[in-house]
Amino acid sequence: MTSYKTIKDVAVITIENPPVNALSLAVREGILDGLSRASKDDTVCAIVIIGGGRTFPAGADISEFANGKAFTKPLPQIIEKIESTQKPIVCAIHGTAFGGGLEVALGCHYRIASTRSKVGLPEVNLGILPGAGGTQRLPRLIGVWLAAEMICSGKPIEAVDADAKGILDDLVEISSLESVQTEYDKLLDAAITLALRVKNHSLEGKRVSQLKVEPVSDFFYEQLALQISKNARGMNAPLQALKAVKASAMFPFKEGMQREQQILGRLFVSSQAKALQHIFFAERQTMKIPGIDMKKGVPIKFVGVIGAGMMGSGIAINFIKKGIPVVLIDAEQEFLDRGVKAIEDYFKGRVKKGKTTRFLADRSLGYLRPSLHYEDLSNVDLVIEAVFENLDVKKSVLKHLDEICKPQTILCTNTSTLDIDQIASATNRPDRVIGTHFFSPANVMRLMENVAGSKTSERTIASVMQISKTISKIPVLVGNCFGFIGNRMLFPYNNQANALLQEGAFPHDVDKVLYDFGFPMGLFQMSDLAGNDIGLHIRKAQGIVDPSQRDPNERYVSTTADKLCEMKRFGVKSSKGWYSYAKGSRKGRPDKEVMDLIVENSKAEGFVRRNISAKEIEERCLYALINEGFKCLEEGMAYKPGDIDIIWIYGYGFPPQKGGPMHYADAVGLKKIYDSILQYGKADPKTSAWKPSKLLEQLASSGKKLAKYWTKKLKAQSNL
């Protein structure tokens, strides 16, 4: 995991633990061994620590947190050893020196970095803090202000910025065109040169732990704490990390380290840390699907998008930003012009905000080719239709595409609810048809639900999953059922919210509970933002708005929602919805007209309104959601519990510190959830969402956790 060599009397310890050189136990042992060899060898005058391959260590090995290995030869001790070594140690950074990686660098006496590299302490995103001296050394090196900003936000910075802040001693200029190997060679060369230059220098002032911290006023900590509470609402780690940074200014290094370790110990075992680390791995597991070989994907070099509305233009932006040419089609010049303008405005905005340069923005726009003619799609590798959400319209678009596009072209339909098999049946290539459910705004939201129909081929799935990654999305493969995973689960969740209105709650009561749980907003606020007519459109498509078409054995909860649309209370866009809005504002106020309507409807529908506790609101909304998640798993519509968690975190704002609905279910206890579902179902027999999932029932009665059960199941499957 490490290698050791000497070049011009400089010992070079290279960390070799691909892909990201995480500081696993074997790496830590290798560093210790290298230090010991270099210290004992009289011919060695200085030491360089460098990462092999593409990067300096991107952190401690996160998988060692759960299995306890992190506590053997722990990283703080290794860094102490590095710092106290009597020969100068130069750390050479390329790629991403994150977390423990940067902490190793802070333990070295000199730091140089490639201009292409990034450094950061992202531990708070994993629910912990930089626990190998980062909270104590960084403030000593660059001051409390800058250090606290970096540590509490977890955001990485570019090497140039790190140099300006005083983290680095020198930069090695590497252009974007140079290979990783050239970068490594130049960096090593510069590190050895520096090591030879400083070989006889005193290490006085070079051991960061011995530097003094300038104290800052309490006002600073208070302001930062306020900012953190707003930006990272509900997250423990950033505020705890701030406490550790404060300790660096209050105590000598050794005592500061003790404080850091105490806080780390508490965070380590917290439910938030477990949830956030689960998310870290779940996000990376979405590409691992049993039975799908991602290498079978074909490269996508040329793309078509049908529909230049908000969705279509948003989709197009994703591709042109990555240098993939897009033909954007609409039927009318006026619509096409509007779409193109929206895309141009998006890039203008980015330039204005300093997020890109005019040159890069123009380069991206150069990849856009607006057209009124389907014939211009004859040569694309993949085409995504983003037309009106209507089965017949989508079928006719795909039929037309099937006739025009080359036989290998993959045909994607951007739908949030429609049946992929029915859409694919309009073509002669159902194996090359797949759903790509982008979330709005499509150029911002990272989630993509890719929906496999019954005939979609492995090659099509792999190609679309790969290209989704290329455009920086988090793709999740899901099965073809109504609403797929995200919207399917949204229905029972939303229905409970509406049922609660019938029984005694108001929108702001429900929304407050969901907001307090950690969602960025409640369901009614979300519905107002999206447009209440969308829900109505879906209910109409389900045929449940007309009372004569409804199943009499199923409770209908959306009378008020339907009436709101009749009253043109569509939400923010009409300044009135579940709430009322001042012109141009997205902040809703409870509205008497709506509250009266709710009370009136309760009465008309035979409900005696009652006070409903926050606990009941939370349980009913979340347990209905979770139960549906279990049903998605047992039916094979979701491939892994973690996939559902990712969909709900990235698509619907489920609080990441709770790990997503399925992780949360395990944390609450499946038996408790199952029993509550039975109880709510008894009180409300006409709500089919309360029929418990078989899988939930089975796990609740056997006392098993979903995550463990599913991992075992997948392992058994892959061994078959």
Ligand X SMILES: CCCCCCCCCCCCC[C@H](O)CC(=O)SCCNC(=O)CCNC(=O)[C@H](O)C(C)(C)COP(=O)(O)OP(=O)(O)OC[C@H]1O[C@@H](n2cnc3c(N)ncnc32)[C@H](O)[C@@H]1OP(=O)(O)O
Provide, rounded to whole angstroms, the least separation between the CB of residue 236 and ligand X: 16
Q: In whole angstroms, give the CA distance from residue 243 to residue 478.
A: 42
Provide, rounded to whole angstroms, the least separation between the CB of residue 216 and ligand X: 23
Decide: is 100 part of the binding site for ligand X (CB under 6 A): yes
Query: Catalytic site residue 16?
Result: no
Please list the residues that pair with 638 across neighbouring strands: 478
Give the SS3 label for residue 262: helix
Provide, rounded to whole angstroms, the least separation between the CB of residue 347 and ligand X: 25
Q: In whole angstroms, give the CA distance from residue 249 to residue 137.
A: 11
Provide, rounded to whole angstroms, the least separation between the CB of residue 3 and ligand X: 20
One character per residue 211-250, x = contact with ligand X (rule: CB under 6 A)? ----------------------------------------
Query: Catalytic site residue 103?
Result: yes
Provide, rounded to whole angstroms, the least separation between the CB of residue 441 and ligand X: 23
Complex with ligand X: residue 71 or 388, whichever CB lies closer: 71
Decide: is 70 part of the binding site for ligand X (CB under 6 A): yes
Q: In what order do the strands lie in the sheet with 118-120?
A: 96-98, 118-120, 157-158
Which one is catalytic: 64, 83, 123, 183? 123
Decide: is 98 part of the binding site for ligand X (CB under 6 A): yes
Complex with ligand X: residue 123 or 619, whichever CB lies closer: 123
Assess contact for 123 and 154: CB atoms under 8 A.
yes
Decide: is 20 part of the binding site for ligand X (CB under 6 A): yes
Tokens of 190: 């510069």
One character per residue 162-201, x = contact with ligand X (rule: CB under 6 A)? ----------------------------------------
Contact range with ligand X by CB under 6 A, out of 44-52, 60-68, 315-323, 427-435? 60-68
Decide: is 61 part of the binding site for ligand X (CB under 6 A): yes
Site residues (CB under 6 A) for ligand X, limited to 267-306: 281, 284
Total residues at interface with ligand X (CB under 6 A): 31
Complex with ligand X: residue 70 or 621, whichever CB lies closer: 70
Assess contact for 119 and 105: CB atoms under 8 A.
yes
Complex with ligand X: residue 122 or 535, whichever CB lies closer: 122
Q: In whole angstroms, give the CA distance from residue 593 to residue 609.
A: 17
Provide, rounded to whole angstroms, the least separation between the CB of residue 276 and ligand X: 10
Neighbour count for residue 379 (Cβ, 10 Å): 12
Provide, rounded to whole angstroms, the least separation between the CB of residue 720 and ligand X: 22
* Residue of the chain from 51, 53, 74, 479 that contacts ligand X (CB under 6 A): 74
DSSP-derived secondary structure for 86-147: SS-EEEEE-SEEETHHHHHHHHSSEEEEETT-EEE-GGGGGTS--TTTHHHHHHHHH-HHHH
Q: Provide the residue type at 303 as one letter.
A: V
b/e per residue, 507-538, with b = 16+ CB within 10 A?
Answer: bbbbbebbbebbbebbbbbbbbebbbbebbbb
Q: What is the largest CA-CA distance in the chain?
A: 92
Whether the ω angle into residue 692 lies within 30 degrees of 0, i.e. cis, is no
Contact range with ligand X by CB under 6 A, out of 53-61, 201-209, 657-665, 669-677? 53-61
Q: What Rg do the C-alpha atoms of the chain give, in angstroms? A: 28
* Residue of the chain from 17, 261, 414, 558 that contacts ligand X (CB under 6 A): 261
Among residues 90, 101, 91, the alpha carbon closest in space to that of 130 is found at 101
SS3 for 34-75, per residue? Answer: HHHHHHHCCCCCEEEEEECCCCCCCCECCHHHHHCHHHCCCH
One character per residue 109-138, x = contact with ligand X (rule: CB under 6 A)? -------------xx--x---xxx-x----
Q: Provide the residue type at 404 as one letter.
A: I
Decide: is 388 part of the binding site for ligand X (CB under 6 A): no
Which one is catalytic: 29, 64, 80, 103? 103
* Residue of the chain from 205, 215, 252, 265 that contacts ligand X (CB under 6 A): 265
Contact range with ligand X by CB under 6 A, out of 55-63, 164-172, 245-253, 397-405? 55-63
Q: Which residues contact 402 (CB under 8 A, 6 or more apart)?
A: 411, 426, 427, 428, 429
* Residue of the chain from 35, 58, 112, 649 that contacts ligand X (CB under 6 A): 58
Site residues (CB under 6 A) for ligand X, limited to 630-659: none
Among residues 113, 97, 36, 20, the alpha carbon closest in space to that of 11 is found at 36
Provide, rounded to whole angstroms, the least separation between the CB of residue 102 and ligand X: 8
Assess contact for 96 and 70: CB atoms under 8 A.
no
Binding site residues, ligand X, CB under 6 A: 19-20, 22, 58-63, 70-71, 74-76, 96, 98-100, 103, 122-123, 126, 130-132, 134, 261, 264-265, 281, 284
Return the active site residues: 103, 123
